[in-house]
Amino acid sequence: MLKSLRSKNDIATLHGYDPTEGFLTHSTAKGYDKVFQTREFPHKYDLIFVHMVLGGLTRTEVTENINYIKSILNKDGVLFLVEAVNDDSPRIYSKWKVYKSSDYMKETNGLIWKEAGIFIEQGQSLKIMVGRRI
């Protein structure tokens, strides 16, 4: 995926961030220009892609991280969020949580949200949610 993103724009840079430790050791060998563990991104961005990161956080941490992501998006910037979602029966008392869509796509967080699709990965229903900063 990163190689295909980079091929679209020669001057684009890919930055990684994970509020947990696990991603940091994995990401340095996967094509990222810089990896962050703290919220110290030096720029604003047009596109941020989050895949299966927020399910490891509490609801409060999910909200805090989405608000932070919004703060580093340019106006009209886009957030692609791919997370395990179960709107009928969320799983919130395990190490990896499966929240409702509404836990991610809050109308009050300064993003206009839409659902872009659902797919199954390793038996888990994943939802693609797209937020545009207003």
H or E stretch covering 110: none
What pLDDT, in 10s, does the model give residues 48-89?
A: 888 888 988 899 989 998 998 999 999 999 999 999 999 898
Predicted local confidence at residue 78, as pLDDT: 93
The CATH number for 70's domain is 3.40.50.150
Of 42-46, 115-119, 128-132, give the lowest mean pLDDT range: 42-46
Domain of 35 in residue numbering reads as 1-43
CB 104, CB 51: distance < 8 Å: no
* Positions of E strands within the chain: 15-17, 34-36, 45-51, 73-84, 111-121, 124-133
Other Cβ atoms closer than 10 A to 131: 24
CB 55, CB 47: distance < 8 Å: no
101 and 60 assigned to the same domain: yes
Predicted local confidence at residue 1, as pLDDT: 45
54 and 33 assigned to the same domain: no
Global confidence as pTM? 0.78
Q: How many domains does the chain have?
A: 2
